[in-house]
Amino acid sequence: MALTIDKSKTALLVMDVQNDITHPDSPMAQQLGFAGMIQKTDMLNKLRGLMDACREKGVPVIHVLIDLEAGVQPRWPHRGAFFQLVSGGNVCKRGTWGGDAADLVKPLPGETIVYKCIFSAFVSSGLQEVLDSQGITDLILSGVSTDAVVESTAWDANDRGYSNILAEDCCVCATQEAHDITVQRMAGRCDVATSADIIAALG
């Protein structure tokens, strides 16, 4: 079935595409494998093309940036390698190079930016209030990584009644295998499409 999009009720979420997470010069991006996969898949250029198409067609582009100090998080998880890596550090700190959006996908003046403190884009960010104020019911999901931020946001969005389109070539994991497994797992609760499919559906 062909993908259909109601542009008046849809927004593009660009999640965690920040220098600390994506840039080849970032030790964290190298260690986690994201920098290499972004280069291998040309993900940033594909995402930029999707962002430009959404902008042209009047679909809001909402930038979701991680800031470990954002919002109110009553506790911080401490078990697992990821939390040990980021705990107490300056990862994605607001106002630093590492916390800035990657150059190719920087917000334009007037575009909405929300800051969240953990995986789901909805946690401590005020994102739902932003979406509801604009009558948004459908989300195009993009970002890093597919198996963490993107999938967590998809689950959370569904629980809140939003419908999701996964822009599968505008996301990466540490490995292609992990990405493919996650996309397959997510396919049961969202539409899976390439950026080209989505751009075509925007008309």
pLDDT tens profile 70-128: 766 667 777 777 676 666 567 888 999 999 999 999 999 999 999 998 899 999 899 99
Per-residue burial over 63-95, b if 16 or more Cβ lie within 10 Å, else e, is bbbbbbebeeeeeeeeeeeeeeebeeeebbbee
CATH class for the domain made up of 8-202: alpha beta
- The per-residue pLDDT of the chain, averaged, comes to 93
Q: 43, 39, 41, 21: which is closest to 31 by C-alpha?
A: 21
pTM equals 0.93
Q: Regarding predicted confidence, which is higher, 123 or 64?
A: 64
The whole-number average pLDDT for the span 151-168 is 98
Calpha distance 163→49 (Å, rounded): 22
3-state secondary structure string across 64-128? EEECCCCCCCCCCCCCCHHHHHHCCCCCCCCCCCCCCECHHHCCCCCCCEEEECCCCCCCCCCHH
Distance linking the first and last C-alpha atoms of the chain: 16
Calpha distance 170→174 (Å, rounded): 14
Question: Which pLDDT value is given to residue 118?
Answer: 84
Backbone phi and psi for residue 102, each to the nearest 5 degrees, phi listed first: -55, 145
